[in-house]
Amino acid sequence: MALLFPVLSFMCGLILASSKFSAELKPLLSLLLARIFIPIVIIYNMVFYKSGSITLILFAFFSCFILFFVFLQLSKDRLASLCFSYTNMAWLGFPIAIAIFGTEHSMAMIPLYIGVSIFGNSWAVTSVSSEPQPKLYLLKKMLQSPPVIALIVAGVLRCFDVQHFQNNLIVEWIYTLAKWSMSFAGMCVLGMWLRKTKVHWADIQTSAKLAVLKMFCGLILCGMAYFLLPLPNINTYIGVMFLLFCLPPAANIVALETHYQGTGVSAKYIASGTIVSVVVCVIYGVVVHLF
């Protein structure tokens, strides 16, 4: 069911893309995903904290920075570097992680998502803006992002010793509903989005080359993390950590680019990167289950 549900959700998105409700449904599902479903999952997992979460947050955050500056040295293009480093954890990352690793092991995606989100909200605006952004503005934007708000809420709740509510039926029901809704909303929106996007073969070829480079960087960074980070249960987390480097550019990059630069160049990177990433993740999932 964990493998089938994201596929069915994606197909549902492809079908709904042709309906008259798609224009209203896509932003609604995206809003619910970003503001409700993912924050609930973050709060639950951080309240009932497992050791190693802070390490995973820092790993994701600094990995994004390293990817950004590695590609910036090669391309001299800040927008392309942002597409290379700022990945789509929400729409694609969570559903695929659950499908490949199951609910329990895929929860390492929560701190990884927080780390990537902090990077995106603190660095994405700087990368796409032609004007230097005030540090206070960037800090405010980061603190107002849903993942960071959810992290703060979780920290406050932990102060009230609510850990014994983990086995409460109502809490478990809310968490389970949010988790499955998160998977459905992410894959459904992805299906609606890809149905309306035109991609050329040259874009696919470019994205495939970038995917190989990104996974090569991921092998190095995950290898270093495996031997150097004081992370409990590293054998359990390392597969999910590598998934971070298989994912495509974050979809909201094009919105930021349009706002600050008045262009939409990143749309082709995102669309072709998503198509390549889906193929890469399917192959990765097969390899994980075989070995």
C-alpha–C-alpha distance, residues 171 and 132, integer Å: 44
Please, what is the Cα angle at 13 between 80 and 60, to 5 degrees? 40
Question: Residue type at 37?
Answer: F
Residue 17 inside a domain? The answer is no
Is residue 80 within 8 Å of 71, Cβ to Cβ?
Answer: yes
Domain assignment present for residue 18? The answer is: no
C-alpha 17 chain-centroid distance: 22
Is residue 176 a part of any domain in this protein?
yes
Nearest to 112 by CA among 174, 162, 45, 172: 45
Contact by Cβ (8 Å): 68, 81: yes
Question: Which pTM does this prediction carry?
Answer: 0.85
pLDDT by position in tens, the chain (length 291): 556 788 888 899 889 988 888 888 888 888 898 889 989 988 988 887 666 788 999 999 999 999 999 999 999 998 899 999 999 887 788 888 888 888 777 778 889 999 998 898 778 877 877 677 777 877 887 788 888 898 899 889 888 877 777 778 998 899 889 988 988 988 888 888 878 778 889 999 999 999 999 999 999 999 999 999 888 888 889 999 999 999 999 888 877 777 677 777 788 888 899 999 999 999 999 999 887
Per residue, the 3-state secondary structure of the chain, as one string, reads CCCHHHHHHHHHHHHHCCCCCHHHHHHHHHHHHHHHHHHHHHHHHHHCCCCCHHHHHHHHHHHHHHHHHHHHHHHCCHHHHHHHHCECHHHHHHHHHHHHHHHHHHCCHHHHHHHHHHHHHHHHHHHHCCCCCCHHHHHHHHHCCHHHHHHHHHHHHHCCCCHHHHHCHHHHHHHHHHHHHHHHHHHHHHHHHHHCCCCCHHHHHHHHHHHHHHHHHHHHHHHHHHHHCCCCCHHHHHHHHHHHHHCCECCHHHHHHHHHHCCCCHHHHHHHHHHHHHHHHHHHHHHHHHC
In a domain, residue 157? The reply is: yes
| CA gap 259, 257 in Å, rounded | 5
| Any domain includes 16 | no
Question: What pLDDT does residue 3 have?
Answer: 62
| Residue whose pair of structure tokens reads 């499955």 in the numeric block | 180
Is residue 15, in this structure, part of any structural domain at all? no
CA nearest to 151, candidates 227, 44, 242? 44
Residue 270 inside a domain? The answer is: yes
Domain that residue 236 falls in: 4-9+23-290
Task: Indicate whether 93 belongs to any domain.
Answer: yes
Task: Indicate the number of domains in the chain.
Answer: 1
